[in-house]
C-alpha cells in the first residue's frame, strides 16, 4: 500500500525527479583501526556491538574482507577512488606522499555531478582538502578524542564533548538539513578505535572487572623472521602509552607487557562501544525517516590491527590481523540480507566500485582493474577475483614497518620485502593460519613461489604500477615506536 501511494505521488513530478528518487542513497561509515573481529557479529566474546550486529542481520557481512594497504591514509585514498595506492598517490600517512594525485577523483565527485547531495563528516586524514562534496566538516589530521576541533570550508570549529558523539551529531545534522529533492551520499568517518584509545567517559569503567585473554602467539618470538620484520618496533611490552594511565615505568618487562595488554585491549574495546552507540543513532534516524529501505549502508574500518598476536600492536604488515577488516553492507531494496559471505575476498578497493554500480554510474577507466563491484555477489551470482595485491610504502616511519608488496589468494600469501637486501615470506593459510612457517625457502614449494611471483608481477602490470618504488635504498629507521597520539 505504501509503495502504491509513493508511485501515485511521484506521477505528478517531472520524470527526472522520479528517476532520481529511485536511485539509492549511500551512507558510508568507517572507523579507524577496527579489525575484522572487533564486533560481536564476527564472534567477539567480550565486545558487544548490537548496532553493528543489526547492520549485519539486515545485510551481508564479508568474513574475508581486506585492506590492500593497511594504513590509515593510503586506505582512505583507496576507499574514495577504488584504486590501489600506487595509482591514487597516497602512499604514506604524511609528507609528500600524503596527497591524492591531481588526476584522480573520489566517487563522491562523480555522484555530485550526477545530482547527488554529497557530504563528508569526521576523520579525513589525507593532505589534499576534500573535493566533490556539497558539505564537509573534518577533523584536522588525527583529531582529538576530547573537545575536538573540526575544519569546514568556513573555518575552524571548536566543540565540547567526545569526538565520535560529535561526528555522529554532524552526520545527523547533515541528514536532517540535506536537500530533499536529491539522493544523498554521505561519508561518516569515526576516530575510534585509533591509538591512544581514549573512551567516552560513560564507558571508562566497562571491563574493569575482567581479564582479557592473551592471544596464543602473545609470547611467540619473531627471532626467526626475516630482518625487516625483526627490525619492526611494535611490541605491546614496549608501548609508552600507559605510563600516565596506571603502568609503573619500573615494572619488570614481563609484567609491563601483561599490564599494557590489558589496558590497551580494554580501552580499544571501550572506544568501539562509543562507535556502536553512535552508529545506532544514525541507523535509528534512517528508520524513523523511512530511509533505511533505499539507502546502501557500508560499515568498515580502514585497516586491521594486531591485538597482541606475536606480542604486537598496530597494523601495516601483511600478516592476517593487520589486513583483515570488518565489512558490512545493507541495502534492503537491493538484495536480501541476513547472511555471512565466507566465499569471496572483498577489498577496500571495491567500495567505490560497488557504490557506482548501484547508482548507475562509473569510475574512470583506470579504476577497472583495481576493484570490483560486489553487486553480483549480493545478487547471488559472481565470477570473482582469485587474488589481490598488498602494498606498504611508508618507510622509514612509525614502527619501522618495512616497504613491502605481496599477493594474497584464498589459500596462499607471498610477501616481498622490497628494500635491499630483499626478503620473502610465503604462507599456506589453511594449514598455517597463524603464519608460523615461512615456506619461501622451501625446495618443495619452489614452483608455488614462482607461480605467485609471476602473478604478483602480472597484477602490478594490470593495475598500471609505474614501479617507482622498486629501487629505493634501505634507509635507517629512527621513528621507532611512533608517538602515542
* Chain residues that interact with Ca ion, rule: CB under 5 A: 32-33, 72, 302-303
Task: Look at phi and psi of residue 308 and say left if phi exceeds 0, alpha if psi is from -120 to 50, else beta.
Answer: left
| DSSP structure class, residue 42 | G
CB of 195 to Ca ion, least distance (A): 9
Closer residue to Ca ion (CB): 84 or 427: 84
CB of 370 to Ca ion, least distance (A): 20
CA 59 to CA 46: how far, in whole Å? 23
Contacts 24+ apart (CB under 8 A), 160-165: 162/200, 162/201, 162/274, 163/139, 163/190, 163/191, 163/192, 164/190, 164/191, 164/192, 164/200, 164/271, 164/274, 164/275, 164/278, 165/200, 165/274, 165/278
Is the Cα torsion angle 251, 47, 282, 136 positive or negative in sign? positive
Closer residue to Ca ion (CB): 195 or 344: 195
CB of 32 to Ca ion, least distance (A): 4
Closer residue to Ca ion (CB): 268 or 331: 268
How far from the centroid of its chain's Cα atoms is residue 91's Cα?
Answer: 15
Closer residue to Ca ion (CB): 25 or 142: 142
Closer residue to Ca ion (CB): 32 or 276: 32
Q: How far is CA 410 from CA 64, 344, 388, 391, 407, in A?
A: 9, 9, 10, 18, 10
Tell how strand 135-139 and strand 25-31 pair up. unpaired
**CB 141, CB 163: distance < 8 Å:** no
Beta bridge partners of 330: 297
CA 475 to CA 485: how far, in whole Å? 25
CB of 174 to Ca ion, least distance (A): 23
CB of 481 to Ca ion, least distance (A): 17
CB of 323 to Ca ion, least distance (A): 12
Closer residue to Ca ion (CB): 301 or 334: 301
CB of 72 to Ca ion, least distance (A): 4
CA 120 to CA 268: how far, in whole Å? 25
Closer residue to Ca ion (CB): 32 or 309: 32
CB of 33 to Ca ion, least distance (A): 4
CA 144 to CA 324: how far, in whole Å? 26
Nearest residue to Ca ion, using CB?
A: 72
Closer residue to Ca ion (CB): 191 or 256: 191
**CB 20, CB 292: distance < 8 Å:** no
The upper half-sphere exposure of residue 34, i.e. CA atoms within 13 Å in the direction of its Cβ, equals: 32
CB of 192 to Ca ion, least distance (A): 11
Closer residue to Ca ion (CB): 116 or 299: 299
Amino acid at each position: 500500500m505504501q509503495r502504491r501511494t509513493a508511485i501515485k505521488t511521484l506521477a505528478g513530478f517531472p520524470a527526472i525527479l522520479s528517476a532520481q528518487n529511485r536511485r539509492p542513497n549511500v551512507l558510508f561509515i568507517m572507523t579507524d583501526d577496527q579489525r575484522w573481529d572487533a564486533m560481536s557479529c564476527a564472534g567477539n566474546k567480550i565486545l558487544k556491538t548490537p548496532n553493528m550486529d543489526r547492520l549485519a542481520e539486515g545485510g551481508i557481512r564479508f568474513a574475508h574482507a581486506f585492506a590492500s594497504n593497511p594504513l590509515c591514509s593510503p586506505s582512505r585514498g583507496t576507499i574514495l577512488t577504488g584504486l590501489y595506492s600506487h595509482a591514487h598517490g597516497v602512499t604514506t600517512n604524511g609528507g609528500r606522499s600524503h596527497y591524492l594525485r591531481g588526476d584522480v577523483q573520489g566517487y563522491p565527485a562523480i555522484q555530485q555531478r550526477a545530482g547527488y547531495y554529497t557530504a563528508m563528516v569526521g576523520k579525513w586524514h589525507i593532505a589534499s582538502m576534500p573535493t566533490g562534496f556539497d558539505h564537509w566538516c573534518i577533523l584536522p589530521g588525527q583529531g582529538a578524542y576530547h573537545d575536538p576541533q573540526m575544519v569546514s570550508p568556513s573555518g575552524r570549529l571548536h566543540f565540547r564533548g567526545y569526538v565520535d558523539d560529535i561526528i555522529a551529531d554532524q552526520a545527523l545534522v547533515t541528514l536532517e538539513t540535506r536537500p530533499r529533492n536529491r539522493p544523498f551520499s554521505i561519508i561518516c568517518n569515526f576516530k575510534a578505535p585509533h591509538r591512544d584509545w581514549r573512551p567516552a567517559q560513560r564507558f571508562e569503567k566497562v571491563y574493569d572487572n575482567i581479564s582479557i585473554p592473551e592471544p596464543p602467539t602473545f609470547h611467540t618470538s619473531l627471532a626467526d623472521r626475516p630482518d625487516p620484520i625483526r627490525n619492526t618496533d611494535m611490541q605491546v611490552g614496549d608501548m609508552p602509552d600507559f605510563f600516565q594511565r596506571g603502568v609503573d615505568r619500573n615494572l619488570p618487562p614481563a609484567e609491563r607487557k601483561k599490564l599494557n595488554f590489558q589496558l590497551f585491549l580494554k580501552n580499544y574495546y571501550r572506544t568501539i562501544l562509543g562507535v556502536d552507540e553512535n552508529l545506532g543513532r544514525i541507523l535509528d534516524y534512517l528508520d524513523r525517516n523511512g530511509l533505511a529501505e533505499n539507502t546502501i549502508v557500508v560499515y568498515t574500518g580502514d585497516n586491521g590491527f594486531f591485538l597482541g598476536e606475536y606480542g604486537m600492536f598496530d597494523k601495516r604488515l601483511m600478516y592476517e590481523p593487520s589486513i583483515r577488516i570488518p565489512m558490512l553492507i545493507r541495502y534492503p531494496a537491493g538484495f536480501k540480507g541476513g547472511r555471512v559471505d565466507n566465499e569471496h575476498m572483498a577489498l577496500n578497493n571495491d567500495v567505490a566500485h560497488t557504490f557506482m554500480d548501484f547508482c548507475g554510474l562509473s569510475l574512470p577507466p583506470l579504476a577497472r582493474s583495481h576493484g570490483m563491484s560486489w553487486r553480483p555477489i549480493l545478487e547471488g551470482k559472481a565470477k570473482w577475483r582469485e587474488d589481490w595485491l598488498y602494498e606498504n610504502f611508508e618507510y622509514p616511519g612509525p614502527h619501522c614497518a618495512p616497504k613491502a608488496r605481496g599477493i594474497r589468494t584464498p589459500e596462499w600469501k607471498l610477501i616481498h620485502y622490497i628494500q635491499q637486501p630483499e626478503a620473502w615470506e610465503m604462507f599456506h593459510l589453511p594449514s598455517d593460519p597463524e603464519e608460523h612457517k615461512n615456506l619461501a625457502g622451501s625446495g618443495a614449494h619452489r614452483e608455488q613461489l614462482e607461480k605467485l611471483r609471476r602473478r604478483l608481477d602480472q597484477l602490478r602490470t594490470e593495475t598500471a604500477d609505474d614501479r617507482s618504488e622498486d629501487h629505493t635504498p634501505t634507509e635507517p629507521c629512527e621513528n621507532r615506536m611512533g608517538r602515542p597520539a
